[in-house]
Structure 1
């Protein structure tokens, strides 16, 4: 069993990177923490059936063989799933992150850590290299990750690689309605229903504003988002 672990306070960059990795590693499952950022919770309340999400309580620990960690290098940020790192039968631990100045405390067999604006960007580049295309739901979640982590390509950590990754996602049927409406006052029930078939068919593209990330303070790591808490409403 191959599992993709998100950090506590799961933000859109972590979610997008995890969904991309699940596409790259067919058959793997994404494990979310119990304390996802509220905006991520609201997004998944509408679209979770489009992603390979699994609750940690349903995992048979004896079957875990590989762990893929996205958006953090710190064990504490994994919450209760951090204990899986100690399982003697886990063969591989992979880390994907864009925080190059952190002192990692996870013993990984492979690390892919580069100074870009979003972890999702690193995963996009792997998908491009493997010539793997995405459906609208996958591309939309990943585009949200880059948009939010880079403040729509405007923060100082943004690189040309982030822009190229986002442009590629836009060619993968990113749904502009899901992205744009996420940053409006909210969605009515009719508009939510209208987005469902659009995500399945694909759609036009549009940018959004916001910002999120996983950062450090003098008291230790903060695993979560600094994004404006715009949410869906029913």
Structure 2
């Protein structure tokens, strides 16, 4: 067995590097430490079933013959692989960008002074002409951006920038990357954020929460990160902030996480633009005031038509269902044969519960496999309607940390949304 792992409190660079290792070393399994950073945890709550990824506690160490370590050179930072330390029959490979002295003694290593470890692996991926999926490219960009401060840290090298360009060419999604990154800000930004928190208005427009603020500024300062952070703090679907320059004129920044609120479309009315999720506009018309601009933005938001894919467009069907008295060994057989991770439990066409692959791992005794599924199923099932937006399903699965979302019409289950369906939606892989 060949495994790739990284340090505890895993960041995006560590996670990206072990996933990249599975591409460079076919047959390798990525092993994720139990403790990960909060932003990585949020990412994995939605994406974990999209990768060949297991937890450290699931590894049978006696079967390991190759250990690939990424983004650390110290044994103490690894999670539950100490038994491999003194094994002469285990080949140890190291990928790292930390030049400090460590206690790993690898048989082979690639250690260089560079902005992020993932950059080193991307170099080899390019050399081997391995094509990436948009999801893989986005994760790798997350690792690169996090460790280089989005290419602004002094440790950033030209190769980091070239790697970022390659990942964008491979389909990395900047909007998704930015959403999962924690953005740093200084004292000036803190003051701007405080004013936004204190004075910005909250509006409910077509079922979406929109924050609209006006802030006076006396000098140039990086503002995009403040707007992004404000949107996260107030948990708004979209925010628009009007910055009033001391010398006259206005600068508007918009951010949106809702497909039906297109920032580009709205800010084009002011001579600006950008992307559906992010944009800006510089307004020099002296006839306008901040209040008028705010009202024009609100009017534009009310005019926006409902758009984006619906749950009905992305759900999987027909749904595999079983009765409450079906034995657990039958559930296991169905999951293995149909290659699925969850089964819906129904009785008289009414939803009773759901059992997922993780529930099967809880069975310790042989006799438990003859027990009915109703003894192990989850009875508190989160569901969604077919007319709900696909983005709502994605948000719900992240909030609840669930991998299966039955689609219910009336009392009948007509489909199911899985993490795979959400990934296809997020990365534009739904059939046209």
TM-score normalised by length of structure 1 = 0.79
Name the structure with the higher strand share.
2
User: Take 2:117 and 2:123, find their aligned partners in 1: how far apart are those partners?
Assistant: 10
* Aligned mates of 1:174, 1:198 — CA distance in 2: 15
SS at match of 2:156: coil
Q: Alignment partner of 2:9: what SS? A: coil
Runs (5+) with no aligned partner, structure 2: 182-227, 236-256, 259-390, 396-420
Q: Tell me, what secondary structure is at the counterpart of 1:86?
A: coil
Whole-Å separation in 1 of the counterparts to 2:156 and 2:82: 30
User: Which residue of structure 2 lines up, in the alignment, with residue 162 of structure 1?
Assistant: 160
Pairs within 5 Å for 1:99-118: 99-100=98-99, 102-118=100-116
- Whether the 8 Å CA contact 2:67–2:93 is kept in 1: the answer is yes
Identify the residue that residue 146 of structure 1 maps to in structure 2: 144
Distance 1:28 1:9 in 2: 22
Aligned residue number for residue 23 of structure 1? 23
**Structure 1 unaligned regions, length at least 5:** 203-234
Looking at structure 2, the residues matched to 32 and 44 of structure 1 have their Cα atoms a distance apart, in angstroms, of 10
Contact 1:71–1:96 (Cα < 8 Å) also in 2: yes
Q: 1:182 to 1:118 in 2, by over 3 A?
A: same
TM-score by length of 2: 0.44
User: Is the aligned partner of 1:192 residue 2:385?
Assistant: no
Structure-to-structure mapping, 1:41-60, within 5 angstroms: 41-60=41-60
Tell me how large the CA RMSD over aligned residues is.
2.1
CA distance in 2, matches of 1:24, 1:198: 27
What is the CA–CA distance in structure 2 between the aligned matches of 1:93 and 1:59, rounded to whole Å? 16
Aligned length in residues: 201
Contact 2:61/2:81, CA 8 A, preserved across alignment: no
Shift in alpha-carbon separation, 1:199–1:93, aligned structure 2, 3 A: farther
Q: Distance in 2 between matches of 1:182 and 1:191?
A: 18
1:133 maps onto 2:360 in alignment: no
The SS at the match of 1:15 is helix
Paired with 1:93 and 1:172, the residues of 2 have a C-alpha distance of 30
Question: How far is 1:51 from its partner?
Answer: 1.1
